[in-house]
Amino acid sequence: MTSASNLMQARIIKKRMLTPSVCEFTLAADDMKLSSFDPGSHITVETPSGAMRRYSLVNDGQNTPDIYVISVKSETTSRGGSISMHNQTEVGTALRISGPENTFPLNEAAEYLLIAGGIGVTPIYSMAQYLAKQEKSFRIIYCSRSAEESPYLTELEDTFSDKLTSNHTEGVSENRFDFWDYFAEVKNMHVYCCGPEPLVEEIKAISGHWPEGRVNFENFKPVEVTRADDVAFEVTLQKSNQTITIPADRSILEAIREAGIKTTSSCESGTCGSCKSKLVEGDVDHRDMVLMEDEKADHIMICVSRPNTGDLTIDL
């Protein structure tokens, strides 16, 4: 688990746009060696906005690497992290980052199918490079809206043209790739899929008859931080003696950060437990994937949860 106390400082030594909305960042550490990593790994970055975000590592990390390479999509619905990475950094900007972690490990198999959707290509590209070096059998299916919006498409075409199938819908639903032929019969291979929720849900739906562990998914945002029917509310911070209004489109964590109150966080998606706080009063809509049932009466994950009704008081 990543926390603010074990972040190190790195500096952007290269920044380049891969597509109109995706920027690649090359990071080097200040005065310390970077840890090696396996394909599928990610680092957590404290973005200029203060938001903690996870980004897959793209480069080869098998030996002690000199750099970490990540790519960040500027999301139209960004909550501050990706926009600040694009607009508030330049070559030379210092960022605090974690060491590599891997929740999407590439396991030993006879054959591999790698499925990428949009920016989900980042761990898939890393895996493909590794598998090629290991002389493993694999295929890549890369789905996106258009070639122009497909990061690393040129690199994949140049390096893996005989193993790559790319599909661009151009915004037409009838152009979506048909995966059924790959999943109708269970094969002696492992599948790794990273992409937007509709792609992930589709692969889950058509692979339900496959043995457990054969089909693997990467998902940094397993829960919704805010929802369309959310409303504003107030949180009283007991230790700080402050009451803060939480807008309908912001989390408790985001609002108290913007108010200048420091607190610990990492994933900011309800999965790591870093921001667990003591609940003093209130009826909580628990949206995290961390708290045990016996913790929910007196704890809250402030990165994703909010009240069912009324306001909250927490021990911060």
Mean pLDDT on 199-207: 96
Each residue of 138-192: pLDDT tens digit?
Answer: 999 999 999 999 999 999 999 999 999 999 999 998 999 999 999 999 999 999 9
Each residue of 50-100: pLDDT tens digit?
Answer: 888 899 999 999 888 999 999 999 976 666 788 999 999 999 999 999 999
Q: Which residues, in sequence order, are CB contacts of 235 under 8 Å at separation 6+?
A: 243, 244, 246, 252, 255, 256, 311, 312, 313, 314
Type of residue found at 125: Y
Q: What is the DSSP letter of 125?
A: H
Angle between helices 153-160 and 121-133 (to 10 degrees): 20
Each residue of 158-169: pLDDT tens digit?
Answer: 999 999 999 999
Which domains are delineated in the chain? 4-97 (2.40.30.10), 111-218 (3.40.50.80), 233-314 (3.10.20.30)
Q: Strand 164-168 to strand 52-56: parallel, antiparallel, or no bridges (unpaired)?
A: unpaired
